[in-house]
DNA sequence: GCCTGTGAAGCTATTCACAGCT
DNA sequence: AGCTGTGAATAGCTTCACAGGC
């Protein structure tokens, strides 16, 4: 499989959602400048992304929407629906559960873990919550490759270590600390404090 | 003001938190490789970042922690405490409110807005929630420069337009759609769907 | 004429590598 | 000896710009 830039992967995820909406409107083809306008990026970027995806367009009709959606899906969706694990069912964890509830079926949070006895064994926002003791066995047996980490900062590293030990290959990290992980585990950090400080900084620059 | 890369700004936010913890342990100086290890980045990156910050280190002692924290604070904190507005007090909005509650005083969510009558006029997670009608006046009068957008996808663009009209200069966008904004308004998109699909993709690559 | 596909150029961020300092 | 500061090299991403197709 050829090398597709991470930024392109992110945009392909967005394109797919935009294209699904466009297809629902009855459109069958789309020009790069139209998709660019919807995604708020440049047409050149769209064409380069679609080239990386392996799609070819037609100068008179643009790109086939169904072909684009299909190719993105081949790339982003596993053939078998992917299970995702959530660790940490606090305020943020619950918001994440409700956010993903009923979205793309190919990518569902299918199990959650928390150390709080009052949460374990229950179903929270439609998701079974298990204890931390059950984490390794569950993730290993169900062959879960990706997890969302929504635990407090001080528990983040030890929790990440458990996930790695269980065989996790990717972590979406909402804790405000970086994770020390082996090279073969992918991490995406979504620290809110950093994001807010960045926005405040750039908001202040143009006064 | 010289041009500091966005990635450096993000790391400086992280460095500051790590350095505050280190200072609490009684340390007064730190080497680039130590800070790099804590932040999970390379020492060269740390040195380059600190150079951009305008800090100079000493080969025998490293960098003065208090000087680093001071310089980051000059850069990231306004002289007057910044107010942040939150728009959308659903599950995610409330999680964000509770996350930032009691953190860095210089950067506090001081007002929230929602279109739901049952929420407006009340105090939710310690934050006054006002109606959308009060948005423009409140943000303009209090000169709020940055906002967090946590509304459903279909309300995102119109809400962003209202924020821009009120004079907002930066938006932290949690809605799963891109925002069409004038050039002078900074946006940081934190779409969870994209983030999760990216992690799932890269988690799948190393199997 | 207006679109796509893409080599080449341009830009930005990261890393190398080493002189200079203590 | 071991660190910092930084020019230069590298890598990665984006944009240009234009040949080619409908």
Reply yes or no on whether the pLDDT at B32 is more than 70: yes
- Among A196, A202, A206, the residue to mutate for chain B (most B Cβ within 10 A): A196
- Is B148 in a helix, a strand, or coil? strand
Determine contact, residues A86/A125, Cβ cutoff 8 Å. no
> Quick check: B188 and A178 CB within 8 A?
no
Nearest nucleotide by C1' position to the A50 CA atom: C5
Distance B6 CA to C12 C1' (A): 10
Comparing A203 with A105, which gets the higher pLDDT?
A203
Reply yes or no on whether the pLDDT at B15 is more than 70: yes
Beta-carbon count within 10 A of B165 CB: 12
* Closest to A176 in 3D by CA, of B148, B85, B200, B17: B17
Report the C-alpha gap between A9 and A81 in whole angstroms: 19
Q: pLDDT-based confidence at A206, cuts 50/70/90? A: low
What token pair was written down for A60?
A: 């008179």
- CA distances to B38, B114, B159, B164, B168 from B87, rounded to whole Å, are 34, 6, 8, 13, 12
- CA distances to A150, B93, B94 from A91, rounded to whole Å, are 9, 10, 8
Report the C-alpha gap between B135 and B166 in whole angstroms: 8
* Closest to A201 in 3D by CA, of B68, B99, B13: B13
State the alpha helices, DSSP H only, in A77-191.
91-100, 135-141, 153-165
* Closest to A86 in 3D by CA, of A98, A75, A78: A98
Report the C-alpha gap between B131 and B117 in whole angstroms: 7
Mean pLDDT of A109-114: 97
Q: Which residues of B touch A96 (CB under 8 A)?
A: 192
Report the C-alpha gap between B21 and A3 in whole angstroms: 39
Cβ contact B47 with chain D strand, < 7 A: yes
- For A61-106, the pLDDT digits (tens) are 999 999 999 999 999 998 788 899 999 999 999 999 999 997 877 8
Beta-carbon count within 10 A of A71 CB: 18
Report the C-alpha gap between A193 and B12 in whole angstroms: 12
Whether A142 has its CB under 8 Å from any CB of chain B: the answer is no
Distance B44 CA to C16 C1' (A): 9
What token pair was written down for B170?
A: 């930066």
- CA distances to A86, A90, A110, B135, B204 from A123, rounded to whole Å, are 13, 14, 11, 37, 28
Protein-strand C interface by C-beta, 7 A: A 31-33, 43-44, 47-48, 50-51, 55-60, 62-63; B 5-8, 41-42, 44-45, 47-48, 58-60
Proportion of chain A above pLDDT 70, given as a percent: 98
Q: What is the DSSP string of A105-123?
A: TTEEEEEEEES-TTTTTSE
* Closest to B38 in 3D by CA, of A152, A172, A180, A149: A180
Q: A193: part of which helix (H) or strand (E)?
A: helix A192-205
Q: pLDDT-based confidence at A59, cuts 50/70/90? A: very high
- For B139-195, the pLDDT digits (tens) are 999 999 999 999 999 999 999 999 999 999 999 999 999 999 999 999 999 999 999
For chain B, give the number of residues. Answer: 207
Whether B192 has its CB under 8 Å from any CB of chain A: the answer is yes
* pLDDT at residue A68, rounded to an integer: 97
Cβ contact A40 with chain D strand, < 7 A: no
Report the C-alpha gap between A19 and A38 in whole angstroms: 9
Reply yes or no on whether the pLDDT at B72 is more than 90: yes
* Closest to A20 in 3D by CA, of A59, A97, A77: A77
> Quick check: B188 and A199 CB within 8 A?
yes
Reply yes or no on whether the pLDDT at B104 is more than 80: no
Q: pLDDT-based confidence at A1, cuts 50/70/90? A: very low
> How confident is the prediction for chain A on average, in pLDDT?
95
């Amino acid at each position: 499989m050829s090398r597709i830039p991470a930024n392109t992967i992110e945009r392909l995820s967005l394109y797919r959602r935009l294209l699904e909406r466009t297809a629902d409107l009855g459109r069958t083809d789309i020009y790069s400048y139209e998709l660019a306008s919807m995604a708020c990026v440049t047409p050149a970027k769209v064409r380069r992304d679609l080239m990386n995806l392996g799609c070819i367009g037609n100068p008179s009709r643009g790109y086939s929407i169904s072909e684009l959606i299909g190719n993105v899906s081949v790339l982003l969706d596993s053939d078998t629906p992917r299970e995702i694990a959530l660790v940490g069912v606090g305020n943020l964890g619950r918001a994440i559960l409700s956010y993903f509830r009923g979205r793309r079926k190919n990518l569902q949070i299918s199990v959650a873990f928390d150390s709080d006895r009052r949460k374990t064994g229950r179903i929270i926002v439609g998701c079974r919550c298990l204890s931390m003791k059950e984490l390794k066995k569950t993730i290993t047996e169900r062959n879960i490759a990706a997890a969302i980490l929504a635990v407090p900062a001080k528990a983040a590293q030890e929790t990440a270590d458990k996930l790695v030990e269980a065989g996790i290959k990717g972590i979406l990290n909402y804790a405000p600390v970086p994770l020390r992980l082996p090279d073969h585990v992918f991490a995406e950090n979504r620290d809110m404090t950093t994001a807010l400080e960045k926005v405040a900084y750039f908001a202040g620059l143009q006064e």
